[in-house]
Structure 1
Amino acid sequence: MDPPNEFDVLSQDVDQTLRADIDNLDQLPLASVFDVKSRLESELTRLFNALNEMGADMETPLVTNEGYPRADLDVLQIRLLRRNVNVLRNDLKAVISRAEVLMATQFEKLAAKTQEVNRNREFESRIPFAKVVDVVATSPSEVAGLKKDDKIVAFGRVHAGNHKSLSAVALCAQASENKPISVRILRDSEFHQLTLTPTKNWSGRGLLGCQIVAI
């Protein structure tokens, strides 16, 4: 039986599952690419440790001054380990490059999604969802500056996209009793920012002292 050649030894030394993942790098998602990177780094650490145990590193001379292989070192094994290291170093560069591409793509998608969310928020922050039809004197709403015919654009976190037939306004008021709420209104084609504090500590009924209807 013929002894294994250098390529056979190299193939045995490198995890074949890892090699398969590296060969199919373009098909892997970002998380898997990071996993391959971690496994490559672990494999390189193992190889460097193996070199160290043999009393060598990547720069150790393997021949004597006369040009003969050093008798105090396993020159063949050291050369094979060095070859594996060089192969995996190149693989690691390719993995890092692939990760950078995938990360850039992911950041672009995230930025696009963020822009879309911001556009939706901007749209919602300018669309009235309720109209004030009555404000009781001395009520928290009057104290805040709310007036009849004002159009409510935002009531705390409640807006045109989530007011749920105005039920979210009532829930927000109940959850914020005696706490200030930012209220954005549209009055005579101008936007105004008010601060309203729902409370029972006034002469009338309810927390707000106003009547609103959905638009």
Structure 2
Amino acid sequence: MQQENRFDILSGGVEDPNVNGTLKDELIRLPELSITEVFDLKAKLETELDGLFDKLNLQGADLNSNLVTPEGFPRSDVDVLQVRLLRRSINMLRNDLRAVISRTQELMATQFKKMAAKTHKIQDDNVLDYRIPFALVTEVVPGSPSHRAGLLEGDKIVKFGSINAGNNQSLAAIGPVVKKSENAQISIRMLRNGSLQNLTLTPSRNWAGPGLLGCRLVHV
């Protein structure tokens, strides 16, 4: 059994000459349309309705005009059949517009939920990046790049370039970042005496000791 069409514009299977045929196809596909396409369809329906009302006005009538004389005869100054067809088209299109608006609201609600979830994830990532330490500085060699940058024993690293508590791989991720950043600044965020502080460290071999940093880090 064929499912009854949910849109008034096609109800009864009667073609409506007053309505754009393309709109009929789009209305049938409404559940499949993206939010942008639904907004576009809404605008088309509103434009179509404006056009139908203009046609109705040209007939010298509106949705509530009486189409018979006081004696009960059809008015001779208007095309009664055309007015009735236009009224029918307008009423059907109004119902279709309500369905489209309802679908728009559904899609917007879904979109807002996705945006809220994404915002929540970003906020969680920020907390992860800037609040949770993943490494403890246990030694800083005098004269080393770390010493020149101002790093102190006891500092707790919460961000080392792009490395944070969520991606440090038990500090294994730091080595490649250091090598890639030789003679280039790395932004570091750390906890010192309970306070968040920032500094920049430039890995370099231009010092008396071995390595590029001159400090020892342990995973926490």
The question of a shared fold, defined as TM-score above 0.5 by the shorter chain, is answered with: yes
1:158 maps to amino acid: I
Identity of aligned residues (%): 40
Kindly state the Cα deviation for residue 137 of structure 1 after the two structures are TM-superposed.
Answer: 1.8
- Residue from 58, 62, 75 that aligns with 1:68: 75
CA distance, structure 2, for counterparts of residue 177 and residue 85 of structure 1: 72
Equivalent residue letter for 2:137: V
Taking a change above 3 Å as real, the CA distance of residues 116 and 40 of structure 1, as seen in their structure-2 partners, is: closer
1:192 matched to 2:190? The reply is no
Distance verdict in 2 for CA 1:114–1:196, change over 3 Å: same
Alpha-carbon distance in 1 for matches of 2:13, 2:50: 15
Letter in 2 for 1:146: L
The normalised TM-score by structure 2 is 0.66
CA RMSD of aligned residues (A): 3.8
Per-residue CA distance 1:3-52 (angstroms, 9 max, x = gap): xxxx9898312655555456xxxxx37x4465355345446656766x69
Decide whether the 8 Å contact of 2:182 with 2:202 is kept in 1.
yes
| Count of aligned residue pairs for this structure pair | 196
Secondary structure at the residue paired with 1:167?
A: coil
CA 1:124–1:82 in 2, change beyond 3 Å: closer, same or farther?
same
Structure 1 residue 163: Cα displacement = 0.9
Name the CA distance, whole Å, in 1 between partners of 2:42 and 2:84: 19
Give the aligned partner of residue 64 of structure 2.
Answer: none
1:99 to 99, 104, 127: 104
Q: In the TM superposition, what is the alpha-carbon distance from 1:138 to its structure 2 partner?
A: 2.0
Tell me the residue number matched to 1:3: none
CA contact (8 A) 1:140 1:196 kept: no
Contact 1:140 1:198 in 2 (8 A): yes
| Deviating more after overlay: 165-174 vs 139-148 | 165-174
Partner of 2:131: 126
* Contact residue 141 and residue 208 of structure 1 kept, 8 A: yes
SS in 1 for 2:15: helix
Paired position in structure 1 for 2:56: 58
Question: Which of 164, 168, 172 is the matching residue for 2:169?
Answer: 164
How far residue 162 of structure 1 moved from its aligned partner, in angstroms, is 0.6
* SS of the residue 1:85 aligns to: helix
- Runs (4+) of structure 1 exceeding 6 A deviation are 7-10, 63-67
Q: 1:187 to 1:41 in 2, by over 3 A?
A: closer
| Structure 2 gap segments, 5+ residues each | 1-9, 62-66
> 193, 202, 206: which one pairs with 2:206?
202
Distance in 2 between the 1:147 and 1:8 partners? 78
